[in-house]
Each structure stands twice: as C-alpha cells, then as structure tokens.
Structure 1
Amino acid sequence: MSLSHVDCWIFDLDNTLYPRTCRLFDQVDKLITSYVVDVTGYEWADARKLQKEFFAEYGTTLNGLMATRNIDPHDYLQKVHDIDYSPVQPNPALMDTIRALPGRKIIFTNADRGHAENVLNRLGGDDVFEDIFGIIEAEFAPKPHNPSYEKFLAAHAVTPKSAAFFEDMEVNLKVPHNLGMHTVHVVPGADFDGSELEPFELERKDGEAHIHHVTDDLGTFLSPFGRRN
C-alpha cells in the first residue's frame, strides 16, 4: 500500500519513536509494578501478574486500576513517569525525516503530555509535532479501545482515509485499520531480548488485514515520503 496520499502522520510514542533497546520504558514498567504493590499490598510477583492482566484486558494498567480501585490517575501518571530520560539518545536524522513529511504530524500516546515532551526533548523533536494527544486528553480512555480513537479524531479533525498510524503494539492498529487508516507496525530489531515482556507485548501479525506495513527502522521506512523540492 502506498502512503503517497497521506496528509496526517500519527505516531505512538514509547518504543515507536525511540528503540526498545534503550530500555526507557522498562523504568516505567517497573514503577507501574511498584504502584500496584502499593495499592494492593501484593507481593511483587503477584502485583506484576495483575499489572499485565490489566494491561491486556483494559489497555493500560491505569485503566484497570481506575476500574477496580479508587486511585487518583494524576498521582499514578506522576509516579510512573518519574524516570531518568537519559537513555533516549538524540535522533536528529529521524526527527528531520518526520519533519519533512508532507502534512500534519501528531503524537497519540497512552502516556501523558509531560512524558511525551520529555522524550521529544531528548530526541530533538520538540518542534516537529503539531500536538500531543495523551491519556488525559483522551479522558483516560486508552488505546486499543474505540473511544480513545474517536476522541482523537474529534479533537484533531483527522480524516482517517488520508492518515497513517505508527505503533509498536499491533493490537493498537486494529481500530485505525477499521477506520480506514494505513497502519505501520514498528517492531524491535532481531537482536532485541524481550524475555521480560509478555508475548502479547511483542506480538507480530505480518499478513493480518490490520497490519499494512512492518518496519524495524522507522527513519529508513519514512525517508521516501519526505517532501520533494
């Protein structure tokens, strides 16, 4: 499928705009487990099991905790994003490639705006994207559930058929495909050790209808679509 008609480029953030190999999200992942321990009183292993169950069922652990516990989502977001961002290396080449794409560029993440801004500052892309649509803007409705995408489309007046959606979680591409967007699954390279992750977190479904393209090198994939002088 060609992307020559695309005039709105929608990017997930974590493990999409930076490589999984920098392990930034590992810090968030462990802080989420700690938060579940604090809320439930569970031992670490049981808290982590519940965390992953929530993630699979509710789209985010936060959504699961909000559905089953009386928690303050803003407190959660502040605590799980209290991390060291230095593992994200500047990537001016990728940011220049995205900057050169014709049309609008928007971040759509299940994290919050502050986390996204911290990542973009590290990448050198704080001037690249029109806006950041985070979990607060989605009123805590996460991908992969329909309401999150509906809120995004309404907030940014996106025409799905002229949009492309880039994601590291293949399940989050099902609704964009159904809406008529072109989808790109951004996967880690073959050398990535995903032993600490659940299988569904790294699942690849090449050939499935909702996966139009697969790449482990976002910059190389995007470079042919930049503006021509």
Structure 2
Amino acid sequence: MEFSLAPPFAGITDWVFDLDNTLYPASTRLFDLIDERMSAYVQRLLGCDPVEAKRVQKTYFRDHGTTLAGLMKHHDVDPHHFLNDVHDIALDRVAPDLRLAEALRRLPGRRFVFTNGNDAYADRVLAAIGIDDQFHGLIDIHACAYRPKPDPTGYQLLIDRFAIDPTRAVLVEDMAKNLKPAKAMGMTTVWVDNGSDHGNHLHDPADIDLTITDVADWLTDLLEPPHVY
C-alpha cells in the first residue's frame, strides 16, 4: 500500500543521521569507552596526571568542538593517529537493531551518515547494529578537514557531494547545537533527546522541528500507514 509521510516529512528525499548516541541509544554508554581512551591519549601526550588530562580534554572539547581540534591546534597532533587510537574499542555494548534496519530500509529516498567520528569506526558501529547496508554515503571528520559539527563546512560538503536539496532533507542528531546549521540551510531537523552528555547544550527550540527519544520508534511510527475506516 502506497502512502505519503505526514508533514513535516512529506516530500523528504534525503535522510541524514548522526551516528553516536543517535543510531544506537545513549544508554549504551559506548562513547564512555572513547572518552576514556581520549583521556589516556592526552595523559601520554602531555605527561600529566589523569585529573589534568581530563581537564585539558574537556576544555578542548568545549572550546574547539572536539578534543581532536584542540590537540591539533595546540599540540600538532596527527589526526589519523589520534582517531585510530581512541576508536579502538570493543563494540560488545552495541546490539543489532532489527526494527531500525527495517525502518531504514522502508524510508523513501536516500540515507546518509554524518559523524564527527572517522569512517573506519563508523563502519564498525553500523555493522554491529546491523545497518551497514542501509546507507548511500557517509561524511566523517576526515572529509570535513577536521572541522567538526556544528562548523558549516561538513554540512555544505554533504549537500554538494551528494547533490542534496536541503529543503527536501532531514538531519537527525542527538546534539541540539548541531542542528542550527542544518536549519539555516533549510533542512528539517529532528533532535534525539535521549540523555546524551551535553545533548541539550545551546538548545534552541527555533532550530528543532521535532524532538524524539528513540530513532527506531520514531521511524516505525512515521512509516505506519494511516488507518482506513
């Protein structure tokens, strides 16, 4: 049975998803493992104690958007070395999500991943969830020249590389501040308010078209055909 999606998603042709704490639940706490490795990396780099390493890490995250951006600016860190190191984590916390896979498959149009992580890590996570075959492309931090969301660079790259009409595209993201550039470009925006650390930082209701708590639940409901009486 053919049916149209309800507004504001009627006419959407391109669906863009963040990765961490968006395509899997924030309650998985997978990013905690990456956070621990980032602190250890900073500690080794600076030869400092764990408390100072954590302080530097979080300061760079706050001031530069990612810890990596701060390390590159202040310590000339090789981004490939850093990203390969901190993403070398076990993925046993991530479970396959058959509902999400089925919902993604049924979405009309194309599907993309837009992440501040690197492509190798993203590929591993998508495979662990069981959705690695559901996407038409990926933009990672390497492609964005290490300018993390919400820097506009990656958003424009996404639009240009995949010939996306932003007025017919949606961005799904757990960090509210990362929706602002997408909204300014004309994209429909969905905030995944699921308890991500700093997820509500710089939250602005004007940048958000819809707030959800779980991507699989939302997509399943969205794709439910209307009842015929």
User: Is TM (by shorter chain) over 0.5?
Assistant: yes
Following TM superposition, the consecutive aligned residue runs of length 4 or more in structure 1 with deviations greater than 4 angstroms are 204-207
The sequence identity of aligned pairs, in percent, is 36
Q: What is the alpha-carbon distance in structure 1 between the residues aligned to residue 94 and residue 106 of structure 2? A: 22
* Other-structure match for 1:142: 148
Q: 1:224 offset after TM fit, Å?
A: 4.1
* Other-structure match for 1:108: 114
Q: Secondary structure at the match of 2:131?
A: coil
Q: 1:225 offset after TM fit, Å?
A: 3.9
Paired residue for 1:151, among 157, 164, 171?
157
Q: What is the alpha-carbon distance in structure 1 between the residues aligned to residue 145 and residue 199 of structure 2? A: 26
Give yes or no for contact 1:101–1:227 (8 Å, CA) kept in 2.
no
* Other-structure match for 1:213: 210
Gaps of 5+ in 1: none
Larger radius of gyration: 2
Give yes or no for contact 1:11–1:166 (8 Å, CA) kept in 2.
yes
Paired residue for 1:54, among 49, 56, 60?
60
Tell whether 2:71 aligns with 1:65: yes
Q: 1:176 offset after TM fit, Å?
A: 0.4
Taking structure 1 as the reference length, the TM-score comes to 0.90
* Other-structure match for 2:95: 89
Cα-to-partner distance string for 1:29-55 (whole Å, 9 max, x where unaligned): 111111111222232122212212211
Tell whether 2:110 aligns with 1:99: no
Q: What is the alpha-carbon distance in structure 2 between the residues aligned to residue 225 and residue 213 of structure 1? A: 12
Q: Secondary structure at the match of 2:116?
A: coil
Gaps of 5+ in 2: 1-6
Q: What is the alpha-carbon distance in structure 1 between the residues aligned to residue 163 and residue 155 of structure 2? A: 11
Deviates most, 163-172 or 219-228: 219-228
Cα-to-partner distance string for 1:167-218 (whole Å, 9 max, x where unaligned): 1111111100111111111121xxx6x7xx4xxx131677710011111121
Taking structure 2 as the reference length, the TM-score comes to 0.90
Alignment: residue pair count:
219
Q: Secondary structure at the match of 1:209?
A: helix
